[in-house]
Structure 1
Amino acid sequence: MELINNTPNVPAAVGPYSQAVKQGGLLFCSGQIPIDPAAGKIVATDVEGQAVQVLANIRALLEAQGLGMSSVIKATVFLQSMADFPKVNPLYEAAFGGHKPARSTVAVAGLPLGALVEIEVIAALA
């Protein structure tokens, strides 16, 4: 098992966990919240802006491992409100292009730092 931490252009973990873990041909990426890595905090206040930042963080994490969005085999989207689903879904679709990994979307009572959206992914290394 290889722990991935301190990836360039990806926010540092806000708790005692790794940004990602490589194991058995897979990359398990911890959930990304909309922290702007340059600012070190959440900048966007609307769910669309936050979703764009989350997806950019995921892309940067994957690219640092030589992967792209097409390597993702499973995604889990956490929304503070399921009413935001129709706002986030087209941004998610655009970020993945024609690639459609398996996905779950769930509404949660709250997310770290008051985020409106968080996304975690599992990617294939090969």
Structure 2
Amino acid sequence: MRAVLALLLAAPFTAHAQNKAVDFNPKMPFSDGFIAGNTLYVAGQQGPDDHGKVTGTTIEFQTERTIAAIQRVVEKAGFKMTDLVSVTVYVTDLNDVPKMNEVYKRLMPNPKPARATVKVAGLIGDAKIEISAIAVKQ
């Protein structure tokens, strides 16, 4: 009986989830994603062209590529795009929001996650858009 009680008391301490980085590059000061329990935090992603540049590309192109980057991190972490619960979109020009929304509505799964859209003074690499996200495994 004491052995069973000891096992039951120890179970909560051995059944915890491991936290882990997703796509960590030691040359960078952050991970593209981080799993804590059943939650995935996706760092801000941008949508560069095949040469790593965003300058001169349209908001539609950058939005498509940015959502593809989010999807890559989400799936690499073992989550699905339908697990997204919250998204923050950073844009440098509020006039780009209607065109960004067209692409966003087409590519993001239903039901759409909660979202905030924030205008910022600038983004690294002169990007027009950056998106960060939170996903919870269902």
Under a length normalisation based on structure 2, what TM-score does the superposition of the two structures give? 0.78
Deviates more, 1:13-22 or 1:76-85: 13-22
SS at match of 1:16: coil
Tell me which residue corresponds to 2:16.
none
Tell me which residue corresponds to 1:57.
69
Greater fraction helix: 2
Tell me which residue corresponds to 2:38.
25
Return the letter of the residue paired with 2:119. A
Question: What are the within-5 Å matches in structure 2 for residues 1-126 of structure 1?
Answer: 1-5=19-23, 15-36=28-49, 38-42=50-54, 45-126=57-138
What is the rounded CA distance, in whole Å, between the counterparts of 2:37 and 2:22 in structure 1? 15
Return the letter of the residue paired with 2:44. G
- Assess if the C-alpha contact under 8 Å between 2:59 and 2:96 holds in 1: yes
1:94 deviates by: 1.2
1:24 deviates by: 2.8
Change (3 A) 1:73 1:17: same
RMSD between superposed Cα atoms in Å: 2.1
SS at match of 1:42: coil
Under a length normalisation based on structure 1, what TM-score does the superposition of the two structures give? 0.85
What is the rounded CA distance, in whole Å, between the counterparts of 1:88 and 1:100 in structure 2? 15
What is the rounded CA distance, in whole Å, between the counterparts of 2:103 and 2:90 in structure 1? 14
SS at match of 1:99: coil
What is the rounded CA distance, in whole Å, between the counterparts of 2:125 and 2:51 in structure 1? 14
Q: Deviations over 1:8-65 (max 9, x none)?
A: xxxx6984111111113100000001124x5333376111101010011111111112
For structure 2, list consecutive stretches of 5 or more residues without a partner in the other structure.
Answer: 1-18
